[in-house]
Amino acid sequence: MADVVQERTRHGGAASQPTEVQTGPPPHRRWRKPPYLLVAPAVFVLVAVFVVPMLTLAEFSLHRFTDGVSSPGRTLGEWSSFLGDGFQWRLIRNSIWFGALTTICCLLLGYPTALALHRLRTRWLAALCYFLLFSPLLTSVVARSYGWTLVLGDSGLVNSLLSGLTGATWPLLYNTPGVVIAMTHILLPFMVFPVLSSLRQIDDELSAAAADLGATPAARFRRVTLPLSLPGLVAGAQLCFALTISSFATPSLLGGGRVQVLATAMYDDVQNLNWPRAAVAAYVLLALALAAFTGFAAVQRRLLVGGRTR
């Protein structure tokens, strides 16, 4: 054996080293547990702040409410009373209509804004636009709502301008249009940034190739930019609709009790100590939000696989 090693060394070869035998589980199995440990804190927080309260609400929804007092029990009386009440269904329709109007307004204002920000090349001007866009989220909802009260009131800025131009004022406060305007102002960033993210993922060479083939700017937007940015548009609509139907502060402050949605009715039930009906309304609102998320997610999935963008 020694002669063989010397012979290999003499000819420039290296003596073979003994191969170490790996013990224990393979690498792909060895690192499977740490990811679960990293997710564990988030799962714990989700269970603590969402699952446990929802289970508590489920228990309250089975209680009885008689003579202004909620008593423990196991009955579906509040569920049947809620689902059989025409007023509650009107609140559900109002919430859906309110969410649809706000989402459409955010879409009509948010897409051109995102397109302008995407084409903006001046950094300081872009930073200023981002700040103005984010400013509604940096202020208190109460201060923001009272600010809109001063703007939309009968003697506010908007009606003062309308009175000077047309000689008449428009009722924009304590009704649905005023609440939709304020909610659009708040939720506009949730539409702009998903659309802006989709626009930034579009290859500029696609538009250049369309231009080389003779496409006009309108045709390039209609055949290239708009279809490829639809996933971001759907994601923004998903966020705006879900946040609108669950909003409470703005409809309550700017609606003046005249804009009745499911969230404000739920607050009134809590104030009246009608916890069972409030719990039922909370689950109905959750069901609406989940249905909206499911529908928008199905549309977005179809767009991402090219179902409607081909």
- If phi over 0 gives left and psi between -120 and 50 gives alpha, with beta otherwise, what is residue 63? beta
For the residues of the chain, what is the DSSP string, one character each? -HHHHHHHHHTT--PPPPPPPP-SS-HHHHTSHHHHHHHHHHHHHHIIIIIHHHHHHHHHHTSEEETTEEE-----HHHHHHHT-HHHHHHHHHHHHHHHHHHHHHHHHHHHHHHHHHH---HHHHHHHHHHHHGGGGS-HHHHHHHHHHHHSTTSHHHHHHHHHHS-----SSSHHHHHHHHHHHHHHHHHHHHHHHHHTS-HHHHHHHHHTT--HHHHIIIIIHHHHHHHHHHHHHHHHHHHHT--HHHHHHHTT-S--HHHHHHHHHHTT-HHHHHHHHHHHHHHHHHHHHHHHHHHHHHHTTTTT-
Per-residue pLDDT of the chain (310 residues; tens, 9 = 90+): 445 445 544 555 444 455 555 555 555 555 556 777 888 888 888 888 888 888 888 888 888 887 777 778 788 888 998 999 999 999 999 999 999 999 999 999 999 999 999 888 888 888 898 898 888 888 888 888 888 888 888 887 888 887 777 777 788 888 888 899 999 999 999 999 999 999 998 888 888 888 888 888 888 888 888 888 998 999 999 999 999 999 998 998 888 888 889 999 999 988 888 888 999 999 999 999 999 989 988 888 887 765 444 4
Q: How many CA atoms does the CB half-sphere of 259 hold within 13 Å? A: 26
Predicted local confidence at residue 35, as pLDDT: 74
pLDDT at 109: 95
100 within some domain:
yes
What's the CATH code of the domain at 250? 1.10.3720.10
- Res 5: pLDDT: 45
Global pTM reads 0.80
Dist CA 104 CA 128 (whole Å): 25
List the Cα angle 253/273/72 in 5-degree steps.
Answer: 145
34 domain-assigned? no
| 37 in a structural domain | no
In a domain, 69, yes or no: no
| Distances in whole angstroms, Cα of residue 71 to Cα of each of 65, 81, 128 | 6, 16, 55
State the pLDDT at residue 107: 95
Does 5 reside within a domain?
Answer: no
pLDDT value, residue 155: 80
Handedness of CA 115, 118, 121, 123 (dihedral sign): positive
Token readout for 70 is: 């909620």
Query: Is 39 inside a domain boundary?
Result: no
Q: How many domains does the chain have?
A: 1
pLDDT of residue 10: 53
Q: Assess if residue 268 is contained within a domain.
A: yes
Q: At what angle do helices 123-134 and 176-200 cross, to 10 degrees?
A: 140
Which residues constitute the domain of residue 121? 89-304
Question: According to the model, what pLDDT value does residue 308 have?
Answer: 44
Tell me the C-alpha distance between 258 and 247, whole Å.
Answer: 15
pLDDT of residue 77: 84
Residue 248 lies in a domain: yes
Supply the pLDDT for residue 203. 86
